[in-house]
A and B are shown apart, each in its own frame.
Chain A
Amino acid sequence: MKNKKPAKPVFLAIYTALFFVYMFAPLVIIFIFAFNKGQGYYFPLQGFTLNWFNEFFSDNMALKAIKNSLLIAVASATISTLLGTFLTLGVVKGVKRFRTGLLTMLMLPVLMPSLTIGISILVFFRTIYIPLGIPVVILAHVSISISYVFLIMMGRIEGIDLEVQEAAIDLGAGWIASLKDILFPILLPAITAGWLFSFMISWNEFIITYFLIGTEVTLPIYIFSQLRFGISPKVNVISLLITLFTLTMIALLFAVRKFFARRRRAMDSYLSS
């Protein structure tokens, strides 16, 4: 029965290539129009210009949006990584009862529609008469990012053997020292990944922010209002810049991963020699 050789996946390969074109072409078209002289979005292009970049950088609202987005993303990533790391350590290495319930609950922010989350936090803060704005957005972003930190850290923490912590404590280290000097360095790669991940979640988050931001502005809110009420090639400029920034963050994530992998290999070979 050798007449059935594995089919050459030519069709599948072409289809996959087309799929990648479908995924990237719209973005490329946006970038092209960031440099187009005319106002309209059609071919043929009207000539090259950097004018839209000037216009974007002299737009105070846009600059304020960038500043706010950075502030919210850094604050919420830092708080959620701190709380999330402790939470994961506790759940994986300490909690025996109610584990499934905890896991299910922590999965909610990932799987529930952002709309439900945004509305419920809006109603909550308005009910207790706390004004909306950047602090409320940070609180909300932390609540959802904790879950993502948990997702990233869980596998990593399951993988470490608590004997190292016990050994340190047997040798006279305090419990806090065992966390700081033993577990923290081991978990540093996962902590960094968790921070970058939370940063990106917050940086991109739109729906929850939309309901909680009040009269302030973040980058996604700025883009949304631009898209709703007449678009200018300024939006193309900001899209291009955000994409470049995103690529940098992804590269950073991989660089971090590679750095720690190399360090670990070096350590292993040192220990075995």
Chain B
Amino acid sequence: MSNIAKNNKNLIYPGLLWFGIFFMLPLAVIFLYSFTTDYIFSGRSIDFTFSNFLLIFQKKHYLIILWRSLKISFITTVLSILFSYPVAYFLAKKTSLDRVLIVVLMIPFWVNYLIRIFAWKLLLSENGVINQFLLFIGFIDKPLQMLYTQTAVVFGLVYTYTPMMVLPLYATILKIDSSLTEAALDLGASRTGVFFDITFKLSLTGIFAGTLLVFIPALGSFAIPAILGGTDSVMIGNMVENQFFHVGNWNFGSAFTLALGALSIAMILFYSKIFGLESIYKNKNI
């Protein structure tokens, strides 16, 4: 019996080895880079330093990019909560077609996100459909500059990641026992009171899970600001790409990348401390 368990346990090694070499080791390598002064294996001597991290805070340029990325990701997350909460609530509590509708909702999510960004590029452009419509109804008299702005980036991010918010919200609202809200109503609570005191509070797990799934990829986004944004919407991702492909400062680029990774790990640990990692596993479905 225990022999079978031992044999089964050995099955983890090929996958673990792969994961260790091609995922964990690279993380260790950028960790090394971000605390040193030069290319590893370059033949030159390398020294330990904190300056790569300090540089992030010393140059105003980098601080602005960092602040902007946090701001854009935060707005994106808040908007996606606001947009998707009513939908998740409707799907979980007010319709019996929810399972079908969830599958339908996942279709755009499975379509390559560059294509969805392309759609927004067409919609937002100067003679695009949105400007045409606004001109047609007489709301504006000359086309608005919407493409290549931070607003366009937020539009693109919200559109891309909102399905990731709907899913965990739907899953948690579905689990809320209706007898709780009914009892509160019977006892004379107002409908708004019931919503904020019971439904909303019990769905906080879903909101936090959704926040992880929206905020982290938004913060690390690269293609969306590159396609929809202008010079005032450069985000961490674009800055890091520039460090590796054009500037060539790997140590500083690694430090910035590692900071981004560390921030996300901190958020994940914070979440798992409060709600447990299992709940993320349970929330993810196709």
Contacts and interface: CB of A to CB of B under 8 A. Distances in A.
Contacts of B25: 124
A270 interface: no
B281 A206 contact: no
B277 A107 contact: yes
A261 interface: no
A72 interface: no
A227 B121 contact: yes
A111 interface: yes
A172 interface: no
Interface string B104-141: 11111011111111111111010111001000000000
Given A12-B94, A107-B268, A239 B115 contact: yes
Contacts of A159: none
Interface stretch (B56-64, B196-204, B258-266): B258-266
A120 interface: yes
B15 A146 contact: yes
B257 A120 contact: yes
A75 to B, nearest CB: 14
Interface residues of A, number: 97
A1 interface: yes
A107 B108 CA distance: 24
Interface in A105-153: 105-117, 119-124, 127-129, 139-140, 142-144, 146, 151
30 contacts: A1-B188, A4-B191, A9-B95, A22-B159, A26-B116, A26-B119, A41-B122, A83-B14, A83-B15, A87-B19, A90-B8, A90-B10, A111-B264, A112-B216, A112-B265, A116-B30, A116-B220, A116-B264, A120-B257, A121-B23, A123-B33, A123-B254, A143-B18, A143-B19, A146-B15, A165-B4, A166-B4, A204-B113, A223-B112, A250-B110
Interface of B: 1, 4-16, 18-19, 22-27, 29-30, 33, 39-41, 83-84, 86-87, 89-91, 94-95, 101, 103-108, 110-123, 125, 127-129, 132, 159, 162-163, 185-186, 188, 191, 212-213, 216-217, 219-223, 226-227, 236-237, 240-241, 244, 250, 253-254, 257-258, 260-261, 264-265, 268, 272, 277, 280-281, 284, 286
Given A9-B95, A23-B163, A26-B119, 16 more contacts: A13-B95, A41-B125, A43-B132, A83-B15, A89-B11, A107-B281, A111-B216, A112-B264, A113-B261, A120-B257, A121-B22, A123-B26, A211-B241, A223-B118, A239-B118, A242-B112
